Amino acid sequence: MNLRSIDLNLLVALDALLSERHVTKASDKVGLSQPAMSNALSRLRGMFADELLVRTATGMKPTPRALELVDPLRQLLRQVERVMQSDTAFDPATTERTFTIRMSDILACTLLPRLVAQRRTAPGIGFNVLHLPPAQTTDALERDEIDLAVSMGLDHSNAIRSDKLLVDRMVCMMRRSHPIARKKSITFDDFIAHEHMKVSMSPTDLRFVDDVLGELGHQRRIVLNVPHWLVVPHVLEQADLLAVMPGHLATALMDKDLQMFDLPFKSEPFSWMMYWHRRYDQSNASRWLRERVQRACAGLN
């Protein structure tokens, strides 16, 4: 294929088509008319010698070749976007740019209000927040799909840089009307005897609570397993359950109906980290983003 014959706008159209899988929605996404997008799809089919999207009874479905193109196409367009942006001329006061950050709902609840508040001096800056599993997070950094990740304990190559943001610890939460909430502290027997709720996707729960209890020959009585942290306070307000969560999140979620206790066993503190690819060590835009995330964490330790 002759690269000189490729119209970059066709690749932008292809990305929209593969994302929306609908000609009209794809045309709206990139600001083309529906006939222009249909024409772009026809040219793309000729370029790749493949149908790319096939009409079925349930809508348009991508071909195997189209599915192969999704990730490399998005990475290519992101790299082109970076080439066209002058990092040396990056000025947060005037630049229009969206940064993509990996962040769980734990950290989003704690950090996003502070981070977004800093936009007063950078009105053209936006944030796109994703929640990816740890392995996918490091892959996304390698593939240049995200600008920054905020997580903990990521297993990564030497190409990924990291810096400490926050020191945290696990605490126990319950409603104030819970039978043991009137005590000044909870005992190990209390903790083991009462029913718990757990956040299934949290590595903090497993590493700093369940693994420790397992070494002591005990386990929690889990009666409710949920996928997200932010449902925890709403459940606790209605049920006599215990929940273990990071202290910073517990502080952010505390209200008059909830009470927080130290764990009745030794659980080591841990650090929330930010991660980025070393290719952006000297990037003005990346440095600005990292500084703003660090500033959002200031005062939380």
What ranges make up the beta strands (E) of the chain?
A: 53-56, 59-62, 97-102, 125-130, 148-151, 160-168, 170-175, 195-199, 221-226, 242-246, 258-262, 270-277
Do 101 and 238 belong together in one domain? no
Do residue 107 and residue 52 come from a single domain? no
Same domain? 258 vs 193: yes
- Residue 161 shares a structural domain with residue 282: yes
What's residue 82's pLDDT?
Answer: 66
What pairs with residue 245 in β-bridges?
171
Tell me: do 28 and 77 sit in the same domain.
yes
Asked whether residue 44 is assigned to any structural domain, the reply reads yes
90 located within any domain = no
Q: For 14-67, what is each residue's pLDDT tens digit? A: 899 988 999 999 998 888 888 899 999 999 998 889 999 998 888 889 999 999
In this structure, the answer to whether residues 218 and 148 fall within a common structural domain is no
Shared domain check, 182 and 243: yes
Look up the CATH number of the domain holding residue 128.
3.40.190.10
Looking at the structure, do residues 11 and 78 belong to the same domain, yes or no?
A: yes
Count the domains in the chain. Answer: 3
The proportion of the chain whose per-residue pLDDT surpasses 90, expressed as a percent, equals 45
Among candidate residues 115, 136, 138, the one with its CA nearest the CA of residue 127: 115
Write down the pLDDT at residue 2.
54
pLDDT digits (tens, 9 = 90+) for 88-124: 778 889 988 889 999 988 888 888 998 998 888 899 9
Nearest Cα residue to 142 out of 154, 127, 128, 129 = 154
The answer to whether residue 204 is domain-embedded is yes
